[in-house]
Amino acid sequence: MYVIDTISKNGSIYRDQILIGTGLLSRTYDQMAALEFGVQGAKVTETPCSRGEKEGIETEIIKLNLSDTALSVDCLLEANCCFAFACDYSIIGDSILFLKYTGFGSVCGCSCCFGLNYTFELDRENKDFRKLKYIRLQGSEKKKLIPHK
């Protein structure tokens, strides 16, 4: 008996697309649509949870840093301790940068706090970038104001 645990697709349009650990899905429709707003070149990294390993963590954006060329967003969430995260982002209603994640992996009998950092390269010369007023994280109704200068 053979078990397939990885699928890789090669070709002129596709690079090797293998999902391993926490990271950003590549070239999704929503990411291509976000280019219109000057949001591009994103990456996601898992960061230590600043609130310890306890359960009951509120899903929230805890820090936002906007520079001339980049936007960095630190988030906290609670999920199964054995999960990694497939992340993405989209623009909602021309005014909200919406950060998405899907937990995947083995299922453990516990919940843990995770930190995620989304970092975006920005084209702040793009007139539509200023239309983005808020950032929101999946799983939370709270929005953070983007501090345009």
pTM of the model: 0.86
pLDDT at residue 127, rounded to an integer: 84
Domain that holds residue 93: 23-145
Is residue 11 included in any domain, yes or no?
A: no
- Residue 7: inside a domain, yes or no? no
Structural domain contains residue 17: no
| pLDDT per residue as tens, the chain (149 positions) | 555 445 555 554 555 567 788 999 988 999 999 999 999 889 999 987 766 656 678 899 999 999 989 999 999 999 988 899 999 999 999 999 999 999 988 888 888 899 999 999 998 788 888 899 999 999 999 999 998 87
Q: Which helix (H) or strand (E) holds 122?
A: strand 111-122
How many structural domains does the chain have? 1
Instruction: Classify residue 127: in a domain, yes or no.
Output: yes
User: Has residue 44 been placed in a domain?
Assistant: yes
- 56 within a domain of the structure (yes/no): yes
Task: Give me the pLDDT at residue 49, please.
Answer: 76
In a domain, 18, yes or no: no
